[in-house]
Structure 1
Amino acid sequence: MFDKHGTPQIRKPQVAIEAAPQAPHWSGGGEFGYASAKGNSNTESLNGKLDFKYSQGLWKHSANVTALRSSSEYMRIDDDGSVHSGSNTTANRYALGINSGYSMDERGTLNATYRQEKDDFGSFSRQRSLAFSYGNRVVDGDRVQLDLQFGPGYRRAYDTVQQRMEASVIGRGLADFRVGLTDNTEVVNKLLVESGKYNTFAQNDLGVSVTMNSHLALKAGWQARHNSDVEADDKRTDTLTTMNVVYRFK
Structure 2
Amino acid sequence: MTDASRSTTAAPPGGARPALAILIAMVVVLAAACGDKPVATNPASIASASARAGASPAPTPSPTPDPAKAAVKAFVALVTKDGFSYQATFSGRSRHATDILPVTKGLLQVSGKNVLVRATFKWPGGNRDAVEHRYVGGKAWIRYDAIDTYHRVTLRGADTMAAFAAIHTVADVTYLGPVKSGGKTYYQVSFRSAIVNPLMIPAANLTETALTSPKLTLLIDAAGKPVRGTAEIDGRGRVSGQL
Structure number with the bigger relative contact order (C-alpha 8 A, sep ≥ 6) is 2
More strand by share: 1
More helix by share: 2
TM-score, normalised on structure 1? 0.38
TM-score, normalised on structure 2? 0.39
